Structure 1
Amino acid sequence: MFLHRTGACLLRPSRGSIPLGCQLATAVSASPASSEDLRTIENDPAKHNKSHLSRFYTIPVDVRKQIFTHGGLPKSFERQIQTFNESCLMIRQPAVDLIGYLQKTDFSRPANRFVLYGNDGVGKSLVLAHLLHYGFSQEFVLVHVPWVANWMKRAKETANSSTHEGLLDLPLDGAAWLVHFKHQNAKLLAKLQLKVSREYVWSKREITPAGAPILELVDHGINRAKFSCDAIAALLQELKEQSTDGKVRTMVAIDGFNAFFHPHTRIFTDNKVRVMPDKLTLTKPFLDITNYNWSNGVCILTVDRMALTEDRMESELPLYLLRREGFEHLDPFVPVRVDNYSEEEHYSCVQYYLNRKWIQTTEAGFDKELKFLSGQNPYKLMQLCASV
Structure 2
Amino acid sequence: MQRQCLVERTARLRDVGDAAARNGARPAPGRRRRQPSSASKRLRLIASEAQFGNGAAAAAADEVAADRFDDGLGAHDLCSPSSACRRGGCDDTEKAVVPARSRTLRRSWRSARSCSSIDRSSRSSGAAAARARRRLCYHVQLIRAPRTFPAVSNCDLHCHSTCSDGLLAPAEVVRRAAENGVDLLALTDHDDIAGLSPARAAAVEVGLGFVNGVEISIEWAGLQIHVLGFAFSAADAGLNAGLQTVRSGRIERARRMATELEKVGIDGSFDGAMRLAANPNLVSRAHFGRYLVERGVCKDLRSVFDSYLVPGRPGYVDHRWATLADSLGWIHGAGGVATVAHPGRYKLSRGDMRRFLGEFRDLGGQAIEVMSGSHTPEHVEIYSRLAREFGFAASRGSDFHGPGESYVDLGRLPPLPEGLRPVWQLF
Larger Rg: 2
Assess same fold via TM > 0.5: no
Give the TM-score range, shorter chain: under 0.3
| TM-score normalized by the length of structure 2 | 0.26
